[in-house]
Structure 1
Amino acid sequence: MKNGNLKIVNSSNYFDDIICICEYSGVIKEALIRYKFFNKPSYHRTFAQMLYNKISEMAEWEKVDIIISVPLHCKKEHKRGYNQSHLISKQLGKLLGIEVSKSLLVRTKNTDSQSLLNRSERLQNVKDAFRVTNVNAVDGKSILILDDILTTGTTLNECCKVLKNAGASKITAAVVATGRKF
């Protein structure tokens, strides 16, 4: 991604905008794999700083009410030891001075890893996998939802669907990297 800020025009997406700072290849791909699967939680600071550098340049970032990360199922998070997206969210929230919530959006299904599935299997895998725990805290809010990698976008989109159904007024998705071409 040259400009790092993508606008999705596909009406099947539940997010209003998306920010992506890197293409999922080369050194970024290697770093994200180490971060996610090889116990390198300290990488979150660098990824958060990269996102901060891009987001802080944008005119409307101060209108974000809350930052939410794509949740892991509690069993998967326990096994990994951390939620990689939440670590980035926490650091990004500190840098931007915006509240971060780990409890407003939860994963209710322990889904299979999306990376092992094709597009239609991914859609089915995450269907009804997320729940908003406090609709009043989401209703009318502008939300920045963060994930580490965007591949097909099914997980992120399902999270945004649940947030929109709970009344979120605007959702901006932010990811460190994507392999998608827009």
Structure 2
Amino acid sequence: PPFFFSKPADGLAPPGRDVAYPSQTQDLHHEVELVVALSGGGADIPVERALDAVFGYAVGVDLTRRDLQARAKDKGQPWEASKAFDDSAPISAVRRWRGAPPQGRIQLSVDGQPRQDAVLSDMIWNVPEIIAQASRLWRLAPGDLIFTGTPEGVSAIGRGQSVHAEIEGVGALDFKVV
């Protein structure tokens, strides 16, 4: 099944804002993801009703302190320090959406060089399945944001680099790591 981790509210970096390179890492990685914004919620939501809880979608980038994550994995410890930090979740504006989830291209480039390029329809878990599974672990609520997973091509980024992420039909996100 899909697995989950949390990001704090101050992890969100709104559109148009530069992102600070976090302390305590020498290995920061990017992961472009489709973000689901909820207008409804509940617990134990059936897959067939999961899309009823969706308000819209956004482009998000999950930033990870990969060196801290590797150390935590090796020791069987939680990943919080590697995933939950200020500006760890840059996000575009949310686009209101009805019906089937986006299925188009998802891509990310750093300084104009392509790093991630895939199509959402190739995701291992689709949006309704992800919502249903998350609702088995937590009571979901309006305003919750779910980052849904990333295609291959995850790699390091550094200070001074510019990131462009885009999802066909959803929007784009640009930020600089400072």
Same fold per superposition (TM over 0.5): no
Structure showing greater radius of gyration is 2
Query: Shorter-chain TM-score category?
Result: under 0.3
Structure showing greater relative contact order (alpha-carbon pairs closer than 8 Å, 6 or more residues apart): 2
Q: Could you state the TM-score of these two structures normalised by the residue count of structure 2?
A: 0.26
Structure with the bigger percentage of strand:
2
Q: Could you state the TM-score of these two structures normalised by the residue count of structure 1?
A: 0.26
